[in-house]
Chains A and B, each alone.
Chain A
Amino acid sequence: MRNFFKAFLIIVFVTLLLMFFLDNIYSYAFKNGQPRSRIQYILQLKNKQYDLAFFGSSRTEQHIDCKLITELPGKSCINFGTRGGSPGDMLILMKLAENKKFTFKEVFMQVDYNYNSSGITGQFKANLIPFMNNPIVNDQLILYKEEFFYRKIPFYEFMVFDKVVGVREAIESLNKTGETKLGILFRRCPVDFSDRYDTVLEKYKNLIVPVVPIWEQVGGSWNSVLPTQEDLGLQVNTILHTKAVVNLGSSMVFDFAVFDKPCLYLKYNVERKVDESWNPQKVYNFVHFRSMPTGKEVFWLRSKEAIGLNLETALENSQKTVAEAKVWFEKINISPAENASERIWEEIDKIAEKCT
């Protein structure tokens, strides 16, 4: 039986050793990676003084916009709303904040009446797993005595909550520790069928992904190429999954503003112009763009060297610009914009009535 026990014990030993190592690797990833939960977020926050702090469920998370509050002079704000967050979850977040010596002038707490106030939610408990060595977290988890034994087994909790703190999440967290890597989705003008971009697209094929607009040629001339219904879905998806749009005078600024995303307008001459009669100034003198109330509705790219810096600014701090873009949108559209289809339909009805 000796060899049998030897083989068995080696397997047990290897398993325990791997569990120990994996426990440390996962803990490291969640502690040092890009915050993907409120616990990671609070433990990594540098700023410790806030005027307003909000705790609550997804209602708080999604409907309290700290960006708007911070625009008020001298106001700082932080939102600790968590999806499905119960008062038990909030208590732990508050204890962590207290332990890290955060100060809040005012605290707002939103409680859903249907949540059990005594316990913490499963999702929140799973997010606590990588921080079990934190005394606050450990104190709270000890309350759940029935799981106390298993918790002492390294990596056990990561396995049990694999959906929330599994291998995918750990890798995701680690992936985001480095520099942000951006790609480019290239959506050409729907009526441009030239091959002028082909060389660049081929040269930078690892960086640029062309997305062909789904428009349809219904007549012979360039202005009879019209968008299809599918293109609407493509546009919405493109906006949803991108950070910002760069173009030369396009109303896509409004499409992105609706989704709280910024637009950058190119405003410099290219080195080798094909048609000398065209320049950006001419484009922005068209009536579409003259309607801009202040000129602060977009980020202006005045040279190709300025693209990097402007893009960085646009990605980090765009709320003011987007807010201005929304004012412009209000100016040139009949409000509310959401009823545009109904208004078009009503107008068609009126025309149809006149005709009959």
Chain B
Amino acid sequence: MLFNSISFLIFLPVVFILYWGLFKRSLKLQNIFLLIASYLFYGWWDYRFLALITASTLVDFFIGRFLQKTGNEIHRKMLLSLSLLFNLGLLGFFKYYNFFIESWIDSWANLGVDMQVSSLNIILPVGISFYTFQTLSYTIDVYRKKIEPTSDIINFSVFVAFFPQLVAGPIERAKHLLPQFSKKRIFIEERAISGIHLILWGLFKKIVIADSCAIYVNAIFDDYENMNSATLLLGAVYFAFQIYGDFSGYSDIAIGTGRLFGFDLMRNFNFPYFSRNIAEFWRRWHISLSTWFRDYLYIPLGGSRGSKWQQVRNVFIIFLVSGFWHGANWTFVIWGGFHALFFLPLLLGDQNRKHLNQVAENKILPSFRELLQMLFTFGLTSFAWIFFRADSLVDAINFIKRIFTDLSFELQYLSIERYNIEMLLIIGIFVLLEWFHRHLEHPFTGSLKWVKIIAIILMLLTLGVYSDQQEFIYFQF
């Protein structure tokens, strides 16, 4: 079920009313109801994949229980390995099997050997990368004795399948979310109202910003051979806003929906395009994934301890794995590699822990230096996004090559019957709205709150894209 669909528009109020009305008196009933609603939400795409999520839930629930019962270190390691094997095996099979087979055939073909291994017609289950990482974090934390395993299978099942964040995060930690299923939920009006505001803001980001940008991005990337330098640059910028609007919009709707049911989900984006360097960007972009990799991969590898060489190695590992997590294509790996390269000078110059505060704090406008820093960081991320969006490495390289060789910066009329620069106005409004509310979750505050709400609804109605409704990009990961 898509957040921006009619079915969700009906589903959400019905679940909300039953949850706070019929099942309010019993925490157990509320949790069972949430589980059924979450499975319905997930099964809306393809009910067959419910078996996978159930299997993943059962495996990690019982491994957690066994980990608590046994003190034998070898047994504990075996149990952890079993969980890793199962979850990463699921991910590996559904997401990466064909990629490895095809890469294997290609590498032999390069040596002149024709391999006859057929790939399988595998459908990628929606959100598998998100819920497997969530269950994995639970088992690892139980193994590390950072949390107590739960004995309530309903609570654990709904922790894995909680519908607001099931298919595209935020990837929650058991330590943060699981205890919330055991506590009686109280309806706090201010939190619920802020939830509605977040949903509204998320819908704006998705339907007005991301989906409108998608129309331009598709037209430019699908026909990049006929685009001039200006249009190609704009294509990269539009994609930067498409993916940001799409993913942060989803996260806002997820967090807002969670609040309607009395839950607190972690923040996933914190104005990443106002970052002054790449390290700051990664503290603000997809926070739940970057902290996951930090805690379960980077720190176990040694993190920022050890020699500079070890630190560099760790940075490259984490960025390349993060790239590969996004999809089974070399384009994602290279995207990760570029971010590692951008990060490297900061690491070597001990600048990666700089800029921990919000840019231009307590000021209306940034300084000229800050503005240049933000533009430079945005330029780097937009450059890397070209690899993320391109269909293949060859396409990405040709796209970039054409930017630097065409050198024509004229207005270009696209196949979508619009000029290449038309989207800039809406993006400009969006950037200004974000800038002046960068210390808040959404702009609906202050004395002009209702004016802003009405303006956003008006933009949603008139500028939103409904005929070309796009799925959320991160569903495919």
In the complex, chain B residues whose CB is within 8 Å of the CB of A155: 461
In the complex, chain A residues whose CB is within 8 Å of the CB of B465: 162
Residue pair A19, B200 in contact (C-beta under 8 Å): no
In the complex, chain A residues whose CB is within 8 Å of the CB of B461: 15, 18-19, 22, 155, 159
In the complex the two chains form, what is the Cα distance from A11 to B20 in whole Å? 21
Chain B: interface size category = 20 to 34
The answer to whether B433 has its CB under 8 Å from any CB of chain A is: no
Query: In whole Å, how far is B426's beta carbon from the nearest beta carbon of chain A?
Result: 11
The answer to whether B225 has its CB under 8 Å from any CB of chain A is: no
B87-114: CB near A (< 8 Å → 1, else 0) gives 0000000000000000000000000000
The answer to whether A68 has its CB under 8 Å from any CB of chain B is: no
The answer to whether B365 has its CB under 8 Å from any CB of chain A is: no
Query: In whole Å, how far is B309's beta carbon from the nearest beta carbon of chain A?
Result: 54
The residue on A at minimum CB distance from B13 is A8
In the complex the two chains form, what is the Cα distance from A164 to B454 in whole Å? 25
In the complex, chain B residues whose CB is within 8 Å of the CB of A163: 467-468
For chain B, residues 437 to 471, give those with C-beta under 8 angstroms from any C-beta of chain A: 450, 453-454, 457-458, 461-468
In the complex, chain A residues whose CB is within 8 Å of the CB of B196: 4, 7-8, 11
Residue pair A167, B462 in contact (C-beta under 8 Å): yes
Residue pair A159, B189 in contact (C-beta under 8 Å): no
In the complex the two chains form, what is the Cα distance from A163 to B212 in whole Å? 11
The answer to whether A3 has its CB under 8 Å from any CB of chain B is: yes
In the complex the two chains form, what is the Cα distance from A8 to B199 in whole Å? 12
The answer to whether B192 has its CB under 8 Å from any CB of chain A is: yes
Residue pair B466, A3 in contact (C-beta under 8 Å): no
In the complex the two chains form, what is the Cα distance from A301 to B463 in whole Å? 47
The residue on A at minimum CB distance from B199 is A11
Residue pair B193, A14 in contact (C-beta under 8 Å): no
Given contacts A4-B193, A18-B457, A159-B461, contact A11 B200 (CB under 8 A): yes
The answer to whether B187 has its CB under 8 Å from any CB of chain A is: yes
In the complex, chain A residues whose CB is within 8 Å of the CB of B458: 18
In the complex the two chains form, what is the Cα distance from A166 to B467 in whole Å? 10
In the complex, chain A residues whose CB is within 8 Å of the CB of B189: 1, 3-4
In the complex the two chains form, what is the Cα distance from A22 to B462 in whole Å? 8
The answer to whether A131 has its CB under 8 Å from any CB of chain B is: no
Residue pair A14, B466 in contact (C-beta under 8 Å): no
In the complex the two chains form, what is the Cα distance from A14 to B461 in whole Å? 12
In the complex the two chains form, what is the Cα distance from A3 to B450 in whole Å? 15
In the complex, chain A residues whose CB is within 8 Å of the CB of B454: 14, 18
The answer to whether A207 has its CB under 8 Å from any CB of chain B is: no
In the complex the two chains form, what is the Cα distance from A202 to B463 in whole Å? 37
In the complex, chain A residues whose CB is within 8 Å of the CB of B193: 3-4, 7
In the complex, chain B residues whose CB is within 8 Å of the CB of A19: 461
From A11, A15, A18, A160, B466 is in contact (CB under 8 Å) with A160
Residue pair B457, A160 in contact (C-beta under 8 Å): no
In the complex, chain A residues whose CB is within 8 Å of the CB of B466: 159-160, 162
The answer to whether A161 has its CB under 8 Å from any CB of chain B is: yes
In the complex the two chains form, what is the Cα distance from A159 to B461 in whole Å? 7
Query: In whole Å, how far is B80's beta carbon from the nearest beta carbon of chain A?
Result: 44
Query: In whole Å, how far is A343's beta carbon from the nearest beta carbon of chain B?
Result: 31
Interface residues of B, dominant DSSP = helix
The residue on B at minimum CB distance from A159 is B466
For chain A, residues 148 to 173, give those with C-beta under 8 angstroms from any C-beta of chain B: 155, 159-164, 166-167
In the complex the two chains form, what is the Cα distance from A32 to B127 in whole Å? 48
In the complex, chain A residues whose CB is within 8 Å of the CB of B467: 160-164
The residue on A at minimum CB distance from B462 is A167
For chain B, residues 62 to 78, give those with C-beta under 8 angstroms from any C-beta of chain A: none
For chain A, residues 1 to 57, give those with C-beta under 8 angstroms from any C-beta of chain B: 1, 3-4, 7-8, 10-11, 14-15, 18-19, 22
In the complex the two chains form, what is the Cα distance from A22 to B465 in whole Å? 16
Query: Which of B187, B450, B458, B461 has most A Cβ within 10 Å?
Result: B461
The residue on A at minimum CB distance from B207 is A159
Residue pair A15, B462 in contact (C-beta under 8 Å): no
Query: In whole Å, how far is B206's beta carbon from the nearest beta carbon of chain A?
Result: 15
In the complex the two chains form, what is the Cα distance from A7 to B197 in whole Å? 10
In the complex the two chains form, what is the Cα distance from A137 to B193 in whole Å? 42
Given contacts A3-B193, A4-B189, contact A14 B453 (CB under 8 A): yes
Residue pair A14, B463 in contact (C-beta under 8 Å): no
Given contacts A11-B457, A18-B457, contact A159 B464 (CB under 8 A): yes
Residue pair A11, B187 in contact (C-beta under 8 Å): no
In the complex the two chains form, what is the Cα distance from A166 to B450 in whole Å? 25
In the complex, chain B residues whose CB is within 8 Å of the CB of A166: 462
Query: In whole Å, how far is B469's beta carbon from the nearest beta carbon of chain A?
Result: 9
In the complex the two chains form, what is the Cα distance from A166 to B462 in whole Å? 7
The residue on B at minimum CB distance from A126 is B467
In the complex, chain A residues whose CB is within 8 Å of the CB of B463: 167
Residue pair A4, B468 in contact (C-beta under 8 Å): no
Query: In whole Å, how far is B278's beta carbon from the nearest beta carbon of chain A?
Result: 37
In the complex the two chains form, what is the Cα distance from A7 to B187 in whole Å? 15
Query: In whole Å, how far is B139's beta carbon from the nearest beta carbon of chain A?
Result: 38
In the complex, chain B residues whose CB is within 8 Å of the CB of A22: 461-462
In the complex the two chains form, what is the Cα distance from A102 to B242 in whole Å? 50
Query: In whole Å, how far is A124's beta carbon from the nearest beta carbon of chain B?
Result: 15
Query: In whole Å, how far is A159's beta carbon from the nearest beta carbon of chain B?
Result: 5
In the complex the two chains form, what is the Cα distance from A11 to B449 in whole Å? 12
In the complex, chain B residues whose CB is within 8 Å of the CB of A15: 457, 461
In the complex the two chains form, what is the Cα distance from A1 to B200 in whole Å? 19
Query: In whole Å, how far is B1's beta carbon from the nearest beta carbon of chain A?
Result: 18
In the complex, chain A residues whose CB is within 8 Å of the CB of B200: 11
In the complex the two chains form, what is the Cα distance from A159 to B130 in whole Å? 32
Query: Which of A8, A22, A161 has most B Cβ within 10 Å?
Result: A8
In the complex, chain B residues whose CB is within 8 Å of the CB of A161: 467
In the complex the two chains form, what is the Cα distance from A22 to B189 in whole Å? 32
In the complex the two chains form, what is the Cα distance from A167 to B467 in whole Å? 13
From B20, B457, B462, B464, A14 is in contact (CB under 8 Å) with B457
In the complex the two chains form, what is the Cα distance from A166 to B215 in whole Å? 15
Query: In whole Å, how far is A331's beta carbon from the nearest beta carbon of chain B?
Result: 37
A164-192: CB near B (< 8 Å → 1, else 0) gives 10110000000000000000000000000
In the complex the two chains form, what is the Cα distance from A10 to B466 in whole Å? 23
In the complex, chain B residues whose CB is within 8 Å of the CB of A159: 461, 464, 466
Query: In whole Å, how far is A145's beta carbon from the nearest beta carbon of chain B?
Result: 17
In the complex, chain B residues whose CB is within 8 Å of the CB of A167: 462-463
Q: 5 additional contacts, CB 8 Å, given A4-B196, A167-B463? A: A1-B20, A11-B457, A19-B461, A159-B461, A162-B467
Q: What are 13 A-B contacts defined by CB distance under 8 Å? A: A4-B193, A7-B196, A8-B196, A10-B450, A15-B457, A18-B457, A19-B461, A22-B461, A22-B462, A159-B461, A159-B464, A161-B467, A164-B467
Shortest beta-carbon contacts, A-B, top 7: A159-B466, A167-B462, A163-B467, A4-B192, A4-B189, A7-B193, A3-B189
Using a CB–CB cutoff of 8 Å, the interface residues on chain B facing chain A are 20, 187, 189, 192-193, 196, 200, 450, 453-454, 457-458, 461-468
